[in-house]
Structure 1
Amino acid sequence: MPEFTDAHGIAIVYDVHPATTVPRAVVQLIHGVGEHSGRYGALIEALTANGCTVYAGDLRGHGRTGMKQHGDAAKLGRLGPGGLGATVDAIWRLAEIIRDENPDLPLVILGHSGGSFITQIVVNDHPEAFDGFILSGSALRMPGWLRTGGHNKPWDGPDASGLEWLASDPAVGAQFRADPLTTEDSPMKLFGPIEVMKVFGRPRKNLGHDIPLLLLVGRDDTVGGPRSVHKLADTYRTRSGLTDITTLVYPGARHEIFNEVMQADVRADVIAWLDKRFPARD
């Protein structure tokens, strides 16, 4: 598995999954807080089978990167020196590597949850570098529109696991809890209030690059939910000047739509969106 060293000396681990047909695009996959890229196997398989090479890294403090960084699973999720800024910088460094290695292919960045907030920041900083972006389980990064805790409140009760907010299938929460490379600690506990506040912000005004955007959200998602995602779409239109924005809301789905009971439909929607904008090559 390849890796690179960031500005603070942290080894960032990532995988390259080559397209199994003629490549037509590259997808840079950014996972969420407390998890790792290994949880996206079905999505990666669908993308590579449909002409997309996928670069999937583990964020600072997370997954294999976190184990190399901390050497202790109890510390997973802690970003380390440089905090959120250094985490964003590492994502941009990987984007540069992808561009260098695939100069003739369009680059689409796909972020889920916390990874979607990082994606928003990276696109603000480097809009010209991306040919499309996909945000899953996202939200407008403003107080009142983004919840940083209390996600399981609608399902709390004496028999609740505390992970019902992830997906309607209880097996998803059970698998998350059993995974040695995940943590259930909240962003506030992992990062601290100062770093969490750095997540907040808005889409950049006048991006100057009209990037296609796909927004995916479960109707019962408690991180942002449809109301926040629709507000995010409107902000990208009116503030950033984007014109090609698609928002898909999945009834009965919670936060992890790529692990939900309708996950095959979600993957098919992603492929169809890519097909329209980045056609297959002969």
Structure 2
Amino acid sequence: MATSREYTFTGSRVTNHVREWPNDRPRYVAILVHGYGEHIGRYEYVADRLVRHGAAVYGLDHMGHGKSEGDRVLIADYEDVVTDVHTVEEQARAAHPDVPVVMIGHSMGGLIAARYAQRYGTGLAALVLSGPVLGEWAVVPELLAYPEPPDTPIDPSTLSRDPAVGEAYAADPLVWHGPFKRTTLEALATTLDVISKTGSLGPLPTLWAHGEDDQLVPITGTRAGIDAIRGTDLTERIYPGARHEIFNETNKDEVLDDVTAFIDRALSGRTS
């Protein structure tokens, strides 16, 4: 696996933890945006593939996640998280001036990345959304119907057809295994609405990749969100039988081959 180093910065609300997988002469910078309740350390395999593809890779633990400070999984405003990701992009650009930047967001990270593209998309060369929380996610209204959201932990078997992925997730002390916070759910609902109303990503090359058997973030709800933001350059990849974490699926190499091929096309479009 590619070597990495870690650092912190003062974010919009807390001290954030960042992991960097360096590349002395990168063709592009890749910024990874992780999902709800997890942390950037779960993306070692993805980062390794991207480094070998020519990227310098960066990713932070969002506030209240992983090694970053803050009440666990508490996000009062996703605009603050987007701002923190932008700080990471600025740091990456300072280290690698004039190198194109690609953003890759998974699940809740797809929501963050989509909103990021609406705010800062003119600075991106490409956007990859993996099983993104967009459009209509039934979990949010279902849990907000309760005064206090019930403790309904994620079933690890819904992550991947590879049992080892679920086992590692269940045993990971940096993963949140407790209930949603009501504040976080309300912020999610607000951001889903803002993204849909803000609309098109314009000419930004965008890849939407999703597992056909994703029971955590079903395709049908996400498709409505994709339709609301789709621009003029959208590529869609739906993987038969795959579950939620397509980067950890049994066909993860096929998925990452598609991601790197998409990035190559987007980068070549910038230079042609």
Q: TM-score if structure 2 supplies the norm length?
A: 0.83
**Which segments of 5 or more consecutive residues in structure 2 lack a partner in the other structure?**
1-5, 143-152
* Aligned residue number for residue 125 of structure 2: 131
* Aligned residue number for residue 146 of structure 2: none
Structure 1 counterpart SS, 2:139: coil
* Aligned residue number for residue 153 of structure 1: none
* Aligned residue number for residue 15 of structure 1: 19
Closer, same or farther in 2 for the Cα pair 1:193/1:58, shift >3 Å? Answer: closer
* Aligned residue number for residue 90 of structure 1: 84
**Aligned-residue CA RMSD (Å):** 2.5
Contact 2:108/2:133 (CA < 8 Å) preserved in 1?
A: no
| CA deviation profile, 1:116-156 (whole Å, cap 9, x unmatched) | 11111111122212111100011433xxx223368xxxxxx
Q: Structure 2 residue aligned with 1:42, among 42, 45, 50?
A: 45
Q: Structure 1 residue aligned with 2:243, among 254, 276, 280?
A: 254
Alignment of 1:18-33 (within 5 A): 18-19=22-23, 22-33=25-36
The amino acid that maps onto 2:104 is L
| Matches of 1:139 and 1:192, distance apart in 2 | 14
* Aligned residue number for residue 2 of structure 1: 7
| Matches of 2:263 and 2:184, distance apart in 1 | 37
* Aligned residue number for residue 112 of structure 1: 106
| Matches of 1:182 and 1:190, distance apart in 2 | 18
Alignment of 1:55-70 (within 5 A): 55-65=58-68, 69-70=69-70
Closer, same or farther in 2 for the Cα pair 1:161/1:77, shift >3 Å? Answer: closer
The answer on 1:231 being equivalent to 2:220 is no
Contact 2:106/2:129 (CA < 8 Å) preserved in 1?
A: yes
Contact 1:26/1:52 (CA < 8 Å) preserved in 2?
A: yes
Q: Structure 1 residue aligned with 2:74, among 62, 78, 87?
A: 78
* Aligned residue number for residue 157 of structure 2: 164
Question: CA offset at residue 161 of structure 1?
Answer: 8.5
Alignment of 1:145-184 (within 5 A): 145-148=136-139, 162-184=155-177
Question: CA offset at residue 233 of structure 1?
Answer: 3.6
Closer, same or farther in 2 for the Cα pair 1:264/1:113, shift >3 Å? Answer: same
The answer on 1:274 being equivalent to 2:263 is yes
Contact 1:63/1:181 (CA < 8 Å) preserved in 2?
A: yes
| CA deviation profile, 1:85-140 (whole Å, cap 9, x unmatched) | 32222112222222232221111111100111111111112221211110001143
Percent identity, aligned pairs only?
Answer: 31
The answer on 1:189 being equivalent to 2:181 is yes
**Which segments of 5 or more consecutive residues in structure 1 lack a partner in the other structure?**
151-159
| Matches of 1:56 and 1:161, distance apart in 2 | 23
Q: TM-score if structure 1 supplies the norm length?
A: 0.80
Question: CA offset at residue 206 of structure 1?
Answer: 5.0
| Matches of 2:52 and 2:23, distance apart in 1 | 6
Count of residue correspondences: 252
| Matches of 1:147 and 1:101, distance apart in 2 | 41
